[in-house]
Amino acid sequence: GAVVSQHPSWVICKSGTSVKIECRSLDFQATTMFWYRQFPKQSLMLMATSNEGSKATYEQGVEKDKFLINHASLTLSTLTVTSAHPEDSSFYICSASYGVKNIQYFGAGTRLSVL
Amino acid sequence: GQNIDQPTEMTATEGAIVQINCTYQTSGFNGLFWYQQHAGEAPTFLSYNVLDGLEEKGRFSSFLSRSKGYSYLLLKELQMKDSASYLCAVRSPPEGDSWGKLQFGAGTQVVVTP
């Protein structure tokens, strides 16, 4: 149980285009999902908390108009990087809370390269 | 301020034991987590402590002392596949409908040698 699927696993795009990343909880319902960003050899930095049926809560310094988050159902959250630029190249990881202890289980991550 | 500290790197021999320490200073506490992360992959959950004491799960054990702001992850009978980064994370108290956010340490790279 507690499987989180994330895709695509790798995406290369041109500067100025938008990229959508999907995060799905496969065998449970997730009221809350989280989006993180990780630069090489650094730890995970929380970008936003995604709540089903309501607006996402963004961390300080994260542009909500650039990183659009939609949590349309209890099993799906999407992150759209709008007008991507090379500095947005990073490893993006989602997670979903599950169980009485609300442990976060992570998706496999998406490596974004913006040319 | 918020701070989670763990060593940058540790090296140990196959079959040995390694202890990874984590100290934290956070404005609130709602549990401490350990995750394993192999290079280029997402973290996988290892253990969770919310009360003081030792939690044992196979070759991995985790200890917590809330009064000292201290935890450790103990890896026994090391195997080559245990070479990875180990992340300590503290969960903040609940806010509204949310169970609280995770704040991660920078990770400890464990290198297992033959």
pLDDT tens sequence across B4-45? 999 999 999 999 999 999 999 988 899 999 999 998 888 999
Please give, rounded to a whole number of angstroms, the shortest distance from the CA of A91 to a CA of chain B.
8
Confidence band of A1 (pLDDT split at 50, 70, 90) = low
Nearest to A85 by CA among A113, A47, A109, A59: A113
pLDDT at B1 over 70: no
pLDDT at A101 over 90: no
Confidence band of B49 (pLDDT split at 50, 70, 90) = very high
Percentage of the residues of chain A whose pLDDT score is greater than 90: 75
Interface residue B93 vs chain A (CB under 8 A): no
Q: What are the tokens at A109? A: 């991550």
The position carrying tokens 């919310």 is B50
B34 Cβ contact list (under 8 Å, min separation 6): B22, B46, B47, B48, B60, B62, B71, B73, B86, B87, B88, B89
Measured CA to CA in angstroms, residue B94 lies from A103, A112, B91, B100 at distances of 13, 32, 9, 4
Please give, rounded to a whole number of angstroms, the shortest distance from the CA of B47 to a CA of chain A.
9
pLDDT digits 0-9 by tens, A45-78: 999 998 888 889 999 999 999 999 998 888 999 9
pLDDT at A21 over 80: yes
CB contact under 8 A, A51 and B97: yes
State the Cα angle at A57 between A43 and B37, rounded to 5°. 20
The position carrying tokens 């695509």 is A8
Measured CA to CA in angstroms, residue A60 lies from A21, A49, A57, A112, B53 at distances of 21, 12, 10, 22, 34
CB contact under 8 A, A106 and B40: no
- Top-ranked range on mean pLDDT: pick from A40-54, A96-110, B76-90: B76-90
Q: What are the tokens at A92? A: 């993006």
Please give, rounded to a whole number of angstroms, the shortest distance from the CA of A18 to a CA of chain B.
23
pLDDT at B89 over 80: yes
Measured CA to CA in angstroms, residue B66 lies from A11, A37, B52, B57, B61 at distances of 42, 28, 6, 20, 17
Residue B47 with chain A: CB contacts under 8 Å: none
Confidence band of A113 (pLDDT split at 50, 70, 90) = very high
